[in-house]
Chain A
């Protein structure tokens, strides 16, 4: 359910971004450019990225080198995986405080022709980090619960 809502948001954002750019280029071609269209497209693209990154994480698409891991005994491998997840969670938790400060810092800044508050852009990092932390926490529990594969 949770994943489907997330995917639905991403699909909707993707479709909207494509539409906005297409409309903008047609408008430009017929000589009456729409300025706000690209602005909105870029804002939505940022949010699309955030949601996609989390979805990609749920599908284990953020690849790393498995050369060392694959050559370790199963129990050590599992321990390494747990440690790695904790390290990444640590990084995200560390970044979270600054993402929060940054969102507040950026709020008064008005961007582009539409005067969009900067916080609309920068809130994405706060949301993104929370989403990734949730995903990692789920994966961490799963890894610990499953027995090390032989």
Chain B
């Protein structure tokens, strides 16, 4: 039966049916053929999937991200990032990486971040920075996965929700790896720029006064992750409450500080929020049905058994699971993957002695790497589409960054403390 589910899912997926409906269609046989489960249960699962308090954080953070963009904060962050890193070799590429780190604190979606930056920075990277199209696409695409680990990342919220792991701890755990990943990518971009002779964006170091001026303008966005950490540390709010707070925070900045939030922009922000939300929620509801069907058929137990028959060595199990995630990450979009695959494999990893928060950071990062790989990586397609780059050229230009990511992941696996230090100290 499990094979039938998997088979149907792949068939529907390949034939181009939306992923969410493919999930629903694949679970039908469990309800029809076994006869023990009335299909009304499927309907109940869909309804119940939305009735979770932690899940309310999703619309709030999506809304807050869209609002922040509408307030004009993005332009200010770009300016600040340029002053900070524009003078380095490979200037605009470095800017895009640092910008992802800063934007991660408000947008929390790698695809959204990548498309925003490709539009904003891509053209001048090629005209002024000396980047080739594919090199620009590579640095933009890889930089965007930083957003996956920086709070408030939607991926981490979904992971915490579906696996019942504390979202607050996940948020805190993502900070150090996020900064580390930024450093790794910047070093790589620097080497690539030196080798290929990409010029820097600013000719000289910015003055301290310029930096301070720009910092003052962007401080409202930069402060948010810090407010979040303090809030969790002292138990002022839960992740959901923090989301609601951030919506008001963004509104206040847009209206009182920058004064750029017009009714039109508010309308647009709501519009994109609702359409993002609809997309994620249909996935969540359908994944709940399939998840239930797979559990009834004892999917997690069978996978666990299969793995433990293969090996008892925890790190080998981990590598196998990560490879599985990488493969499914290549075909499925991030949210679908987190909702569908992580609940099946996380119990195995916990049993092997790994910490769920540590695994969360690792898996969410890895799933996003799937978005960067051919044949169907979503982030890759978004950036390549905007900059008009062929995926083959992209893959070649991306090789050094892949290598950097591989090193980063190894370090992340071998030193759990990198992820666990912040939550252990603060919560």
Contact = CB atoms under 8 A, between A and B. Distances in A.
A102 B40 contact: yes
A14 B63 contact: yes
Interface size class of B (residues with CB under 8 A): 35 or more
A25 B276 CA distance: 25
- In the complex, the 8 A-B pairs of residues with the closest C-beta atoms, listed nearest first: A56-B278, A52-B278, A62-B18, A25-B241, A49-B281, A64-B18, A21-B244, A69-B16
A143 interface: no
Interface stretch (B51-59, B89-97, B205-213): B51-59
A25 B270 contact: no
Interface in B34-55: 38-40, 42-44, 46-47, 50-51, 53
Nearest to B289: A95
A59 B282 CA distance: 14
A64 B13 contact: yes
A102 B331 CA distance: 34
B19 interface: yes
B56 A91 contact: no
A99 B240 CA distance: 29
Interface in A47-65: 48-49, 51-57, 59, 61-65
B277 interface: yes
Nearest to B266: A11
B60 interface: yes
Interface string B374-403: 011010000000000000000000000000
Nearest to A28: B241
Interface of A: 7, 10-11, 14, 17-18, 21-22, 24-25, 29, 38, 41-42, 45-46, 48-49, 51-57, 59, 61-69, 80-81, 83-84, 87-88, 91, 94-95, 98-99, 101-102, 105-106, 121-122, 124-125
B233 to A, nearest CB: 15
A82 B50 CA distance: 30
Contacts of B278: 49, 51-57, 61
Nearest to B57: A21
Interface string B270-288: 1101111111011001000
A7 B271 CA distance: 8
A127 B174 CA distance: 39
A53 B244 CA distance: 21
B42 A14 contact: no
Contacts of A62: 18-21, 279, 282
B333 A63 contact: yes
B281 A91 contact: no
A45 B279 contact: no
A141 B46 CA distance: 28
Contacts of A17: 56, 59
Contact of A88 (B17, B53, B273): B17
A35 to B, nearest CB: 13
Secondary structure at the B interface, as helix, strand, loop or mixed, is: helix
A91 B25 contact: yes
Contacts of A18: 60, 63, 244, 247-248
Secondary structure at the A interface, as helix, strand, loop or mixed, is: helix
Interface of B: 12-22, 24-25, 28, 38-40, 42-44, 46-47, 50-51, 53, 56, 59-60, 63, 236-238, 240-241, 243-245, 247-248, 270-271, 273-279, 281-282, 285, 331, 333, 375-376, 378
Contacts of A64: 13, 16-19, 21-22
A25 to B, nearest CB: 4
A21 B274 contact: no
B282 A87 contact: no
Nearest to A12: B270
A131 B106 CA distance: 32
A56 B47 contact: no
B106 to A, nearest CB: 16
A61 B271 CA distance: 13
A80 B16 contact: yes
A22 B39 CA distance: 37
Contacts of B18: 62-64, 88
A62 B278 CA distance: 8
B285 A49 contact: yes
A98 B275 contact: no
A14 B16 contact: no
Nearest to A9: B274
A53 B43 contact: no
A122 B44 contact: yes
A59 B275 contact: yes
22 contacts: A10-B270, A18-B63, A22-B245, A22-B247, A42-B56, A45-B59, A49-B50, A49-B277, A55-B275, A62-B282, A64-B18, A65-B14, A65-B19, A67-B14, A67-B375, A67-B376, A68-B15, A68-B16, A87-B12, A88-B21, A91-B25, A124-B47
Given A14-B270, A102-B43, A125-B43, A48 B248 contact: no
A66 B46 contact: no
Contact of A66 (B16, B63, B245, B275): B16
Contacts of A10: 270, 274
Contacts of B245: 22, 25
B34 to A, nearest CB: 15
